[in-house]
Structure 1
Amino acid sequence: MQSYSRFDLLSGSGEVRARMRSHDWSGSPLGRPETWPSSLRTAVGILLNSSYPMFVAWGPDLNMLFNDAYIPILGNKQADALGMPFATLWSDIWAEIRPLVETALSGESIFADNLLLMMDRNGFPEETYFTFSYSPIHDESGSVAGMFCACTETTRQILGERRQRFQLEVADQLRGLSEPDRIITAASALLGQHLKLTRVVYAELDLSQQALRVDSEWNDGSVDGIAGARFSFAQLGDAMMEGVQRGGPFWVADVETDSRTASQAAAYSRLAARALLAVPLRASARGQSLLVLTQAAPRRWRDDDVALAEDIAERIWSAVERSHAETSRRRAEAALSRQLAAEGDRLRGLFEQAPGFMAVLRGPQHVFELANAAFLRLVNRRKLVGMRIADALPELAPQGFFALLDQVYANGKPFFGHEALLVLQPAPDEPATERFIDFIYQPVLEVDGSVSGIFIEGYDVTDRRLAADAVRDSEERLREGLQAGRMVVWDWDLKSNEVSYSFNAMDVFGHGPADAPPNWGAVHPDDLPVAIAAAQKAIDARDGYESTLRMIRPDNGEVIWVEVRGKVLCDAAGMPLVMRGISIDITERKRAEEALRTADRRKDEFLAMLAHELRNPLAPISTAAELLKLAQVSEPRIARTSEIISRQVEHMTSLIDDLLDVSRVTRGLVTLEKDIVLLDQVIANTVEQVRPLVESRRHQLTVDIAPDIPPLLGDRTRLVQICTNLLNNAAKYTPPGGELLLRARVEDGALALLVRDNGIGIAADLLPQVFDLFTQGERSPDRAQGGLGLGLALVKSLVELHGGSVNAESGGAGRGSDFTVRLPLPALHADPAAMRSDPLSAGQAAPATQLHLMLVDDNVDAANTLAMLLELQGYVVSVAYRAQDALDRAANGAPGIFLLDIGLPDMDGYQLAKRLREQPATSDAVLIALTGYGQEQDRRRSEQAGFDYHLVKPVEIDRLSTLLAQLSQTARAE
């Protein structure tokens, strides 16, 4: 995979950025991103940082680059779209947009508003609308090299406006119809023509016969009629019938590929129903009705299509119900007229007690003659009888109710209102209230047929309307949430072993109930036993179920990760009845976690190799500098050169050590070797290490250590490292001639170490991040002593390992900085004189005399310079550049000590060490590893291979000399 760590264009978050980083650009006409011209990089940078849908088409083939917001527009094309030629990607609409593209490539920008495009991006041609602009992009030579597009899909808006116009048309067409058959026929024809359908069927469900009867139909003339036909539920499939009987819409984009209808595909094909949408009408006393929309070709049903079908179904139901209600009302009116004289009092009582509101208006001025209790409650018990409705309820004037009354009074035809909005306001200073009502304006006819008044009847359906709105809103939110979270909701009936899924199961997981428990067909075979065992355990315990497992999508064979959570529900007897739960696709999260683990492992491997490769050339440089010192050359320049080389080697070694220390600390691989430590020793070692840098920058260092500071319990080497890093940091960020302070006090039972400087200070926005990895202040030209931004991060980690804390303060730019370390002071009673010290860091012992050493290293410069240095110290040194040469020489004259490099060409140092241990002549020899690998696992491996000591390149000459001197004294004593 190509690395873009130095290519800012592709760094950052976002799905397209991730794709572009992982994309194989070697075969692309665009070339690798770091080679792109600045004009292309600028355009791509704009679109990648925009939340507005955009793309760039570049080069002769107009290869595509786009942003995250453009992905939904691509649909199923998005997986392979990156870098694809524009004409290939959008071949289905190329004929329509080609003239626009050519205009842009000629150097002229062009804009399209709500352009109709028949796209095939989801498996079916679909009507889409877009508003967009094409703008030419000029390369560095001034030629048009591509084009830039910002676009908005307006399909939902255009179709929504069309649907509103259509709904108004339907309302107008149905308003003048009263016969149910005419209402159904007209509505079906309008819906079929608007959606360009093959057939619209109005049918009744006969539950006793388990059959569906087609009462009426509309078709586009391309198919035979089926009005009057009957179809058994078995012919239509259980999925469809169960769906509509539950009261919700049921739709299938392609009956042949949808698992719910595939087995009935032949039957549907004979009806020219390749795609279908079934919408149940609200059940009434006469039974359950159904509106079925079909198309001879596959079709992706939009949410708008479903909503429109439901709306038309509701209008048909309302119109039919109004028709039946009108018939019933006429019959009731006739009966009322016949019985009025004899049952006047009884009728009035019933009128008053009716659950629905009722009122009688007389004359063309609509004067209230009667109003029952329910009507009075509706209008806040206002005085009505004897008043014109316009005077009693003046707020209704702009709402259209009075005009409807006039209309009914004039034409003698009743009016039916369904869930009409009624806004009531008893007084101007009172708040208005909104109610939804179903009502009938029924004309009161005299013997001669003239209209003398209007009878009003209705029901307050506000609660029903609000509940329905809440249910629809809740269902929509649930649908959106399940889609966005790639979450599937399921119910597992433990008695029937049947599983029901939410609508998006096929989209998210590519499977339906056939691959669900108890078959478990989609679960990865390696995870199947654990998944079944966990489910059975939850059932047995009547408890919750949680599992993370892999699934193999039945539709495309892709392996995905799924997090499953469920809960067992029991019946009244406590027996497991249902397991209900959710399944979430967590594949992307798993991939991200694996990517992070891989990146972390590669980082560690890279750091180890980097340290090894940097240490190898430092070894001969360091040794050469020591040789210059030992040669006692009188030339001052050579002496100064030797000192410079030594200092720079120490600086490079310190950077490498910090790099590896940070890696080990962040992975939790550093353990402290705690002992009783005197602060004076720590400060002395610290000052010794920072003196060259302090003196080179002419700083004044003040050390202020309070007397009688008790011993610490810690790792002396790491404590020195903490203090050294803080002082080095202060020295580097203080201009020459500055003042540094190292102060130690006991405060509140803890040791407080303060490092203060009067340097450049720390800006307020940088202060919270100074202890983060790779954080540095802005460098000025006079500060050549730069670092990697690791020192303070390492300080913080090491201090916290000791149970302490570190804090940074600064007054701002130019006001210096304070770093305070607080370390716990345990109750210790130790004799400082008895404290341990590192035998290899104590002073150098007397030089050995005539001790035979063998140095094995394939780096000729490193081997020869170290050999010369050791010979000047009085050792007899033989050098081998290959492992086999060392074995041959050792067999003839066995040296007492071997200094072995690990990375040898013919066999590595670990193998050579084992071979030397196996030879009798060298089995007791001292083996010292000299290597660029210095991590803890490298030391353990050298110990397992038989090495006595492990030294890291570039080796500290004093440390090596001390070790050899001690080994020489031991050899003489024996």
Structure 2
Amino acid sequence: MTTPPARMEAGEAEAALRLVLAMPAAVMVFDSTQRLMLLNDAARALLALQEGEDLRGSCREPLIRRLAYRGLYGNGDPEAHARAVLEMGADQPPRRLVCATDGRWFEIARVPLPAGSWATLFTDVTQHRQAETAARERLHLFGTALRQNPSGIAIYDRQQQLLLFNEAYETLLELPAGTLRPGLAFEAVTALAIRNAPLDPEALEFFAALGSADRRQRLQFVRAQAGGVAVRATTQPLPDGGLLVALEDVTLLRKAEDEAKRRAAMLDGILAALPYGVCVYGPDHRLRMVNAAFRGILGDDEVILGEHLLDILRRREAAGGYVTPEPPEEVYKRQFHFDRPPTTRLRIDGTVLTGRTAPLPDGGHISVISDVTALQRAETEAQQRAALLQVMMDNMRHGVCLFDRDSRVVAANALACRLTGLTPEELAPGVSLQELRRLQFERGQFGTGPEAERIFHTRAGGVLRTLETFTRTTADGRVIEVSTDPTPDGGFVRIYTDVTAERQALSEIEQARAAAEEASQAKTRFLATMSHELRTPLNAVIGFSEALIADPSPQQVAEFAGSILEAGKHLLSLIDEVLAVARADTGALQIETRALLLPPVLESVVRLMRPSADAAGITLVLEPPPELPRIRADERRLRQILLNLLANAVKFTPSGGEVRMAAAAGPEGVEVTVSDSGIGMAPEQVERAFEPFVQLETSHARRYGGSGLGLYLARVLAQAMEASLTLDSRRGAGTIARLRLATAMQPQEQTA
């Protein structure tokens, strides 16, 4: 009991006053008239009093309003808060909590004092309030987690009575909802589970063992329920002597484990059935697994699980099973070069093995060994057949190139390279036909100019996969025949044949045929011409002879006899020309060359031709010859050549024209030129003028007579004397005949 103030000693009152003033809580004491009697430092701070400000004796109402405006009673209208506090009577609870506007929590307590006075205490309980809120939130979270946890959770106290559980605990025990309640013993819960779930003898034995188990140790076991559900139960002792029971649905985990076991068994079956040798090594490079094929391929029955890889390699190399031994350390290092190509080794028994390694996620690696003896033999045989086929192709008389369905090279022989103008590297397998055509076009294999571009662009679009043959002329003038034959696999084969010689032979045959036809036509023209030429003088002889018979008067005899003589001489000259040509063709032409002075011969032939030139109205000029060396020639045949050249020049020069003869010495001998201002001829007609029986005018109504043998005979005679005869002519610009004669060895003699 509180000692009445009247009975308190002065010392006790003083001590109580010091205690009130030192309290951390704000204390305000009011008398029965609601006036402030006492307040401590905490209350002064709560009221925010200035230093020296004394409120003792003040009424309670302004103090309450001051606290309200300072936000002590929370948010809202301060006046309403103040009125609510002032209207509180003595029947109101002695303690209440308020939250100030600054977030602090205060417990306000009203303590009655003697004589109608009382004390109001404001205690800051913010930390306690926050701790209580945090604990309440944690408890809420724990409850939520417990309820939402798919595992069943139950806590039993030290007497093994149920304290706490969630709904999943009832569900996994296969109990109806609401069956369990706090206070049930562990054995009672077990009995409910046995009674509500249909259990087989194995399950009953399981629960019996569970009841007799030592719960002071952590226990874990799995029970299979109806429908294939598997539940794992874990009992964990608690520090206070209680027990935590956790039930988990591990059906999916159990299925996954079963699936893993099934897959492991399947993997073991696959590895056992594989024809490849498989070894698995751990991160420590020790053997973990090996299949039967590995032992069969290597004949190594001594491989032991757990053996180090280096020891295995040393033992294997020491056995000498390979044709080419290798240091075990080198083989060991090679096992960890995972990006290398497969290693191939030949065993003494003739088998060929290939091996490669690959890393595993756990840091180990796998080694796979294959017996490729049959494959190696097949590849060797294929290479031999390919080499044989290549030899056959290289010795063919035709270039051969095989293309696949994508128009890419499969194989080609050496002759195909030469005939296409490509190198073996460019005609290698895999190169496209379009690329080959581009290279050929750039090197002029299709020719030059617009025609080459037309061929390239025409054939660049693709290839006709049917029977096709065409020819082309290469840059070096060869004629290549290209034929295309489709293959059953959708590709095609190109055959290249050099038909240059064949085309040349055909061209020569064609030229011979044309020459034969030309000769036949020439003979026909000769017969027609000669019949005309011969009939003219013969008609004159016959006509004038008949006239003499009819009128043998002296005057007619002289005139007609002269005409008959002239016609006879002309007929004789024609026959001489024909006989000379015949002798020249048979090689019986008589030529007698000797050293000869040229100027007298030139002067004599000009004198002989001058009457004919004057009769034709043509000026015949002999340019004064300079001092000339003797020439080597047959004088009679030389006169015949020069007369033919002058006769031709006079014949083909219109009236009023000019014919000039000149001679000059040169380094190659003496050259005699006969030039005229006549009609001339086209360049392509020059050589034809030297052919026998050829006249550039072939009609019977031609303007110029003659047998067509003059120039031919002149060249034949010149060649027989080791001289040369050429013509320079242009249509409408006249003709120049050039006769080059060899000089005699002796010097020219001067004559008076």
Q: Which TM-score bucket, shorter chain as reference? A: 0.3 to 0.5
What TM-score do you get using the length of structure 1 for normalisation? Answer: 0.26
User: Which structure has the bigger radius of gyration?
Assistant: 2
